[in-house]
Amino acid sequence: MSSFLNPAQDAPAPAQQPMIVDGDQANFMADVIEASRELPVLVDFWATWCGPCKTLTPALEKVTKAQGGRVKLVKIDVDKNRELVTQLARMGLPMQSVPTVVAFWQGQIADTFSGALPESELKRFVEALLKLAGSAAPAVDLIAQGKTLLEQGAAEQAAQYFAAALQEDQEKPEAWGGLSRALLALGDEHQAAEVLTQVPGKIAEHAEIAGARSALALAQEGRKAQSAMAGLSQRIAVDPDDHEARYELASALNASGARAEAAAALLEIVQRDRAWNEDAARLQLLKFFEAWGMDDPATMAARRKLSALLFR
């Protein structure tokens, strides 16, 4: 399963504030106690010689990253911070062994565990902490924020929002489609395709899922055509009726993000020879519309031009 399919996020901290930091005694109050008044903080007490720590810490980092800013992780090397560990032990924390994880909320200890838990249990631990903090967010809000981030080019953050929405509601096609598109924008076609295989059957044919599938297929087509863009343009310059070259060029342009130009190439084919290759240009254009989304400006503009050509 995609590493992004993890718990939700609601109000991410500012981008400049790191959500995973190495802590020490000097910064414990600021990094943990004060920070926990704004969002839950996990403190991972570890040691270089600790075998289980080498398993737990990466898993904690993964779960924390998936929150997109709703949880902070502070990692503290017990050997470099012995005085701090002693002080915490005097407060009643079970600091006899590592790894030990302590959750803080509102300046107080909220929960704790020792030992290397599997990732599934770490997720449940964090989910319980988020519920305690009252920071759960409706899936619809997470999806809306994910779409905004994706439009702004912040694909990794967008993926976290969509994954967060799925943690809240597995039957949101917009979240599945958005997550796949975000991963595709990150250049991870394999993971984008993997996400689509996990869509629940009852929503597998939803327009959002179909659009994501089309976007993935077009990206794969375009990737192959991109390397030949110069040659395709040259072929068209020599023979404007080389519809095969123009068709492939449209795929390459779309993969490059040049949606208007990609649509224009296909519209040119429709104008010159609508019946070419069994109406392939029009059908590919419809596939573009599906992948881009029906409310995308490029879709709306090209749809108007297509209508003008078909009904003139």
Identify residue 228 by its one-letter amino acid code.
Answer: A
Given 39, 53, 122, 265, the catalytic residue: 53
Catalytic position from the list 5, 39, 50, 95: 50
Interatomic CA distance for residues 162 and 178, integer angstroms: 6
Rounded CA gap, 177 and 60, in Å? 26
CA distance to 64, 81, 106, 215, 287, per residue, from 219 (Å): 30, 50, 46, 6, 12
Q: Could you tell me which residues come within 8 angstroms of residue 133 by beta carbon, excluding any fewer than 6 positions away?
A: 39, 40, 105
Q: Is 3 a catalytic residue?
A: no
Question: What's the rounded Cα separation, in Å, for the pair 18 and 291?
Answer: 34
**Residue tagged 């920070």 (tokens):** 35
Contact 289, 299 (CB under 8 A): yes
Active site residue 53: yes
Active site positions, annotated:
50, 53
